[in-house]
Amino acid sequence: MASPELETLPLPKGANWAISTRWDDGPQADIKMADLLEKHGFKGSFYVMTGRKPNTFERDLLTRGHTVQSHSITHSRLSCIAPAQTWREMLLPRIDLECRLDRPVNCFAYPSNSQASAFDPDARGRLYQMLLRAGYHHVPVRRNEKDSEISGANVLPADGNPVDEAFQKFYSDPDLQAFEPNITWAYHANTHARKNTWELLGKQLEAHAHLEDAWYCRQDEYAAYRIQFTRAHLSPIGAEAFSLLRPGPALAGAEVPLELRLNGSPGQVAPVVKVDGRPVELIPLPLGGWRFAVPWPEEEGVPRLIGAEDFPWLKGTLAVSGDQKTLSFQMENAGAESIREVRMTWRLPPLFNAGKEWQVIGDLASSGVWSEEITLAPQPTGYNQLGGALPLAVQVDFRLEDGTFGRVYFLTEETFNTPDGPENHLQDHVVLAVKEGDLGFEPATLSHPDGGRCPGPGIALLTELESNGTKTVEFKARGLQEILLNGDRVENGHLDLRPGTNTLRLLPAKHDFWFSLTPPELAKFKRP
């Protein structure tokens, strides 16, 4: 990361902090929000659900210097739905938005900021791995220190709440600055429209606009810069030269080149610095030394045409073998010209080995064919079912003869079984174990503390009831499709418990559910 002479800068333009904004769910108030942000010198990051009718203003937002990023398909709480559904809600919106807008998507906002689940202690780690596999490297929330391969944000009190105290607390914290130098406004333009708090938001923005040590950016720009910063490697070559390895622009996702600091004393005459043989501009720093941007190589760039509609002459097939042990990809260039610097990346869920990332294919001539086959080696999941078909994809990046950078995706879907999971198969639903003390308002009530929106259809809950004898216990329930006690369907409002351990399985019919024993002291839930 550093040498006695050169070091990578954590943010561009000599900034100490990045300041961004995040707006979810639109689109009714997005244009008015964009107007307000531009008035005060801010940029907007608008997170949309692809399951809704496309926002006709999306391209207008891009043209005005804002960005449109991914917020799932249906706004489901991803920590509380089946793994196959979670993967679908992450991968497909990225592909859809990129193909629709011809812009890379590198940011994902969790619906309802849901990253963890009382029903599933492994949910957070699984979501993190899915984010990386789907091609994201930024989530606009406070991230865990272990999530080292993504960037995040320090979110101010949202939707019209006072922000000054939190802003100053963030801004004056050197440890926070070193870990995640990004402060963001959030969450809903529609809330400001409904409450008519535009004037209040404008005053908040103006109070923190034009800070000299801040970089006012989009969140995709922040993500693009930070992935370069965290993965950059500087190596000396002789006494006066260095090599720099960093992620390329197609992976970074936005045209924000990494900046370096060249150490020096105040008043020192600036040396001549060249990158790949070309002189670069040195900008003096207040305490001595200079900063300069490292431009991308000419053969690399951010794709500006994305999707099969832009490249109908690129033919490809992606197929799972009959025994589900291999995945084969073949692509043919049926166009009249070669495509240059071709790279491919497998987009596979964590159920399987990742495959190669940014595999260099090289040039593919007209009528040329490329094929690749990988073994599908299932990884342990802890689930007996994945809850549906899994979309699998290959991402292909390249450069056209005229210098345009492009990207296409090839997809297929397959339903897989995972025999490594617990023997709790129940109507092809994923079974999650309920842990004692994690749920409800008392030991004998199963519900969700934030209002019962987790889990949802496609999930079965498994728990155990401990009884000190044979007894009948009454219960009350709402929103459940099916209740099974010791393998038998419960048809009435009571449970016939046997001495010792009793196994209870619940199938929610909707997010808003609860199940309660009356009286609660007769039995107690525990984790299997």
Spatial CB neighbours of 433, under 8 Å, sequence gap ≥ 6: 119, 462, 463, 527, 528
Q: How many CB atoms lie within 10 A of CB 373?
A: 11
Longest dimension (CA), the chain: 90
Model confidence band, residue 98 (pLDDT cutoffs 50, 70, 90): very high
The 10s digit of each residue's pLDDT in 49-61 is: 998 877 778 999 9
pLDDT tens digits for 365-424? 999 999 999 999 877 655 544 667 899 999 999 999 999 999 999 999 998 865 544 333
**Residues sharing a CB contact under 8 Å with residue 508, sequence separation 6 or more, in sequence order:** 455, 456, 457, 459, 461, 479, 480, 481
- Per DSSP, helices labelled H in 172-326 are 174-179, 189-195, 198-207, 219-231, 249-252
Say if strands 290-293 and 259-262 run parallel, antiparallel, or are unpaired: antiparallel
**pLDDT at 469 exceeding the cut of 80:** yes
- C-alpha distances (whole Å) from 160 to each of 36, 42, 195, 203 are 14, 17, 9, 11
What rounded mean pLDDT belongs to the chain? 85
Give the tokens for residue 178: 């070193």
Query: Percent of the chain, pLDDT > 70?
Result: 85
pTM for this structure? 0.85
* Those residues with Cβ within 8 angstroms of residue 169's Cβ, 6 or more apart along the chain or in another chain: none
Q: Is the distance from CB of 526 to CB of 466 less than 8 angstroms?
A: yes
- Taking residues 490-500, report their average pLDDT: 88
